[in-house]
Amino acid sequence: MLKLYFAPGACSTASHIGLEESGAAYDSQALSFAKSEQRTPEYLKVNPRGRVPALVVDEGTIVENTAILDYIATKYAPHLMPKDPVQRARALALMAWFSNAVHPNFTHIGRPERFATDAAVFDHLKAVGRENFHANLKEIDGLLAGKTWMLGDDFSVVDGYALVFYGWGKRIGLPVAELANYTAWKDRMLARPAVKRVLEREQSILLAA
């Protein structure tokens, strides 16, 4: 049996959507960051880094959205990743970029103390993070031009990951509605029953007006 550990509204929404779209049976547990539940001794046994998502499978625990999403597609839902090697490499490249650039830019806004010890530079780090994150959202908007889904005609696990950042942009008050391609794609995402179920379970800001 699979078990997903997630936090509502966190980057783990990507894996949550991937699992729900895959149709695989899974159990899940929500952790509250407000209560620091990602740092309890019980959870640190699951993921010693104290981060979500973590997916417990028969053989142990898988962490990192990119790895979890690739695992889900490979094992349960091959239609959620491209079969062609070049297209598959492009899907992985997008998820790697989400993980190593887009997500850390957002982290600068909420957790500047992770990038500097001098509190005098925190406001600067927040401002630069916000600017860089906004630029990333604009780049995603450009990538979606003329496409139905992130990779083109076929929905994939990359789509669930891209939705995380639209929600975060909305949360911090960036003018996401101005991003025409990204917003139209977000509306297509919200029309998918599996996506809607996950967002309702997580009480996502994406469902608010």
Ligand X SMILES: N[C@@H](CCC(=O)N[C@@H](CS)C(=O)NCC(=O)O)C(=O)O
Site for ligand X in 2-41 (CB under 6 A): 10-11, 33, 38
Q: What order do you get walking across the sheet with 54-57 strand by strand? A: 26-30, 2-6, 54-57, 60-63
Q: Which is nearer to ligand X, 101 or 177 (CB)?
A: 101
**Half-sphere exposure for 135 (CA within 13 Å, toward CB):** 8
User: Per CB under 6 A, does 162 bind ligand X?
Assistant: no
Q: Which is nearer to ligand X, 164 or 189 (CB)?
A: 164
Q: Are 6 and 31 in contact (CB under 8 A)?
A: yes
Q: Residue 60 to residues 3, 45, 49, 97, 112: CA-CA distances in angstroms?
A: 11, 11, 15, 26, 33
User: Per CB under 6 A, does 99 bind ligand X?
Assistant: yes
Q: Which is nearer to ligand X, 87 or 107 (CB)?
A: 107
Q: Are 165 and 136 in contact (CB under 8 A)?
A: yes
Q: Are 65 and 71 in contact (CB under 8 A)?
A: no
Site for ligand X in 107-146 (CB under 6 A): none
- Binding mask 47-86 toward ligand X (x if CB under 6 A, else -) reads ---xxxx----------xx---------------------
Q: Which is nearer to ligand X, 53 or 129 (CB)?
A: 53
Q: How many residues bind ligand X (CB under 6 A)?
A: 12
Say which amino acid occupies 136: N
Q: How far is the CB of 2 from ligand X (least distance, A)?
A: 16
Residues at the contact surface with ligand X, assessed by CB under 6 A: 10-11, 33, 38, 50-53, 64-65, 99, 103
